[in-house]
Amino acid sequence: MKSVRAITCTAITGAALTSTPTFSAGNSGHDAKALSDDVVRARANELIARMTPEEKAGQITQYFDFLNEPEEAKRVESEMAAARAGSLLFVHDAKELRRLQQIAVETTRLKIPLLFGYDVIHGLRTIMPVPIAMAASWDPKVAEQGQAVAAREARAVGIHWTFAPNVDIARDPRWGRMIEGAGEDPYLGSVMAAAQVRGFQGAGIGTPGTVVAGPKHFAGYGASIGGRDYDEVNLSDSELWNVYLPPFKAAVEAGAGNIMSAYMGLNGVPATGNRWLLTNVLRETWGFKGFIVTDAGSAHDLKTHEFAASLEDAAVRALGAGVDMEMAPPFGVSAFKTLPQSMAEGRVSVEAVDNAVRRVLEVKIRMGLFEQPYVDLEEAQRVLNDPGHRVVARVAAERAAVLLSNEGSALPLDAKMLKSIAVIGPLADSARDTVGPWVFDQDDSETVTVLSGIKAKVGSGVRVDYSPGVTMPARLHKSIFDSSPHKEIPRVQVDDDAEIRRSVEIARAADVAVVVVGESQLMIGEQASRSSLDLPGRQQELLDAVIATGKPVVVLLMSARPLDLKGSKPAALMNIWYPGTQGGAAVANLLFGEVSPGGKLPFTWPRNIGQIPMPYAHLKTHQPKTAGERYWNEPSTPLYSFGHGLSYSTFSFSNLKIDQVRVIVGEPISVSVDVSNTGSRQADEVAQLYIHQRHGTAARPVRELKGFERVTLAPGQTRTVHFKLTAQDLSYWAASTRSFVQDATVFDVYVGGSSTASLAGNFEVTAQR
């Protein structure tokens, strides 16, 4: 029997992996489990007792180090040599990391090693599908394995800490950073948050071959007004406790060693200066023992927010709120550099500074940095070139794909019946876009594009013609990622009119057209919010022209948010997200049926932007029968529901059993259902369990996800899936009592393949027997 809070997922099978991959850890880290809390604290305290105020302030300051910005690098290096920097970020070259560590360990007075952080969001050398794609797998093991590979590569080159996972809930697809999270649902988000923490940290901080996980952005960042990145957030307490905070709590319970505070203002108080959030909730209520870092410059920006009176005041208020380390603004002035003066003037206590320093030092001790500060360069190359990592990336991309529609079973394609394929679209052969954002050292030779994947799959027996179709337009405003100090990112540019005509010609001459459209990786992510969900540029015109040829058209969407295709009806539509290093190989396996798609949407897909936000877990109105008629001009229902995803097979759900018709408050209840493969292919289905509370202290959503399991079934096979609903699953935060409650009430239970599941039962919770 599987608890819905500790789901054991089906092993990866078929053309993928037969078991969880294991990798040797090499010497990247040490096993610090033998170190007791008392020993770690005593070592930290001994160092603190010898530190000057300036060294303490430096230990809780992190600087950006951009190698191609020599003046900034020189300034940062001088701070390191003077023991006024405890951490660096954005360095990922093994030789440079070793050199910088030598400065700290061999030239400073106390020889305290640096803690190196990096944005290892979905891979370092081997790039996994973007995080929201891993959530779309509805398979926590995929997320855990992917981040374990990312951690192993990062630790091998000398990185100790990642600013991930992003566990922000996103219910407005205009917000670009939804790509880094798990979508709109707090339960799915919590499961994926915990899985990623386990992947990054292994058995715990200090496990060989792992890094410290840093869940972000605490808290509510995904609810920015208008979906505009960095804008303020205003959330009710009910939304905070029931929707936006649960994934952070799950990450803390999974052992995350770090939490990053958010940039924005939350209900009028900047998150980085919010003591209620950072201390009362995170430390006192949840018992978080790790260290808190600001997002880039957000301590400094307490003054920008007009919350703090000065830079000195900003540092004092951030530290007082619970911040332990400032991620100083790139090319800017550190707020925490003012702490020694504030200590001398009595505006901040020595104890408060020492507490922050202690938390940072304890992580360094547990990571084994005092014993093994340097990277092994030969081992780093061996780990980065491990072919097993590419297998994990391919499997993850296969399991993440979501088949949205498949008219007349257009997919899978049969290579034996094809003589020619037209591959069309500006993203079809773009290595940089295939891996998605948050990749800073792209190696195009490592990346399998959709075009190259298809060519490799069909070989010389099938003609493959290609056209980029149209230009991928430039952004109106530049991104922070397409300017110095980052590499220039190429953009597809063609004569649109001529290339659309050519696309139509090759489509007419082909047996099938595969059209790859969506958003380039600079159009999603940080500083990549949008006011439209339309296909950028002239991609819609291109798509409509190809469909008008009458040839079968398979559309592959490279996107991390729902897009509006204006009613276009291709033969098949599959969301492949940004599938990563092995994306093209995975897509080819999916197109030709070596793997059946089994991913499910982690968000609701609206018909157009005018409907957002429209989470599936909404309250019942006073006129529920007209819920689909809220707009007079079109249905008020989504185009694709939360949890939707098709397969190359068909499934049925039956024999729903609830072990008790009545339980008392606090007791668990078990649910089981039979899932049957009624088709002719081996394939995966995700059994999803939803509940609805009929009445209570507060009105509750019409449906809430409380359990899921992805199962692989052979044709004709039936498997019984078990879930357990706990008191925690049946509880919620109520505004009227300002506390968590579990009501004596009646619950409806729904189980099926999406949030629209129709197989239902119910049980009653009573105050006493």
Active site residues: 295
Q: Which residues contact 7 (CB under 8 A, 6 or more apart)?
A: 140, 191, 707, 708, 709
Q: Which residue has tokens 């010898």?
A: 50
3-state per-residue secondary structure call for 85-103: CCEEECCCCHHHHHHHHHH
- Tell how far CA 173 is from the center of its chain: 14
Q: Which residues contact 42 (CB under 8 A, 6 or more apart)?
A: none
Helix (H) or strand (E) holding 692: strand 683-693
Q: Which residues contact 240 (CB under 8 A, 6 or more apart)?
A: 219, 220
Q: What are phi and psi of 64, to 5 degrees?
A: -75, 145
Largest Cα span, the chain:
81
Token pair of 747 as six digits: 């619950």
CB contact at 8 A, 123 and 393:
yes
Q: What is the rounded CA–CA span in Å between residue 548 and residue 507?
A: 10
Integer Rg of the chain from CA: 26
CB contact at 8 A, 170 and 177:
yes
Q: What is the rounded CA–CA span in Å between residue 530 and residue 350?
A: 46
Strand stretches in 694-758, DSSP E: 704-713, 718-725, 732-734, 739-741, 745-752
CB contact at 8 A, 707 and 689:
yes
Q: What is the rounded CA–CA span in Å between residue 43 and residue 54?
A: 20
Q: What is the rounded CA–CA span in Å between residue 87 and residue 96?
A: 14
Instruction: Collapse the DSSP code of 663 into the 3-class scheme (helix H, G, I; strand E, B; otherwise coil) and give the result.
Output: strand
Which among 267, 279, 261 is positioned nearest to 236, based on CA atoms? 267
